[in-house]
Amino acid sequence: MERDAIPAPLKRAVLVEAGHRCAIPTCHHTTTELAHIIPWAQTKEHTFDNLIALCPNCHTRFDTKGEIDRKAMKIYKQNLGLLNNRYGELERRVFEVLAQSNERVFVVGAGSDILLNNAVKDGLFEDKNVYGLSLDLQSDDGFKKSFPLSFTYWLTDAGVEFIKRYAIGDDLS
Ligand SMILES: [Zn+2]
């Protein structure tokens, strides 16, 4: 059986899932190719669940050298789905930065607090209510309110654990 090209919409969906980056969090290289998690020779089909975006180097380590095994690749794929469904773009970026920096405290501007809501709800980040910049509004009729302009978050122990598992590609579910 001849191997067909991967249809463009499917290819796009797999690349979008990984943010057009290598799906291995500690790599995230921007040059991508598609890899079959279970070899095409066995399945003889291209499906979303069996395709993952990898950089050429990780693709070789997986397919040719066997340095990354199939079970690990399935977990990377599963984590992508979980991260995409549960967390937004900013949260995923923060995970990535924290995984690389080992920092436990970070500050974001007003508005970003809303975008970090799910990670806070899941107990990964905690708002330390550190007094920082604020906007004090006051009107003639007595309305007075102070709005924080910056938010300081602390990575909880659960958050540290999550980031660690995220970085090494452990199962996040
Ligand atoms: Zn890679």
- Total domains in the chain come to 2
> Is 153 part of any domain?
yes
Q: Give the domain range for residue 96.
A: 89-168
Ligand 1 centroid vs 45 CA: distance in angstroms?
A: 24
- 114 and 78 both lie in a single domain: no
> Is 28 part of any domain?
yes
pTM of the model: 0.69
Query: pLDDT of 90-149, one tens digit each?
Result: 998 899 899 889 899 999 999 999 999 999 999 999 998 887 788 999 999 999 999 889
Q: What is the 3-state secondary structure (H, E, C) of the chain?
A: CCCCCCCHHHHHHHHHHCCCCCCCCCCCCCCCEEEECCCHHHHCCCCHHHEEEECHHHHHHHHCCCCCCHHHHHHHHHHHHHHHHHCCHHHHHHHHHHHHHCCCEEEEECCHHHHCHHHHHCCCEEECCCCCCEEEEECCCCCEEEEECEEEEEECHHHHHHHHHHHHCCCCC
Ligand 1 centroid vs 66 CA: distance in angstroms?
A: 14
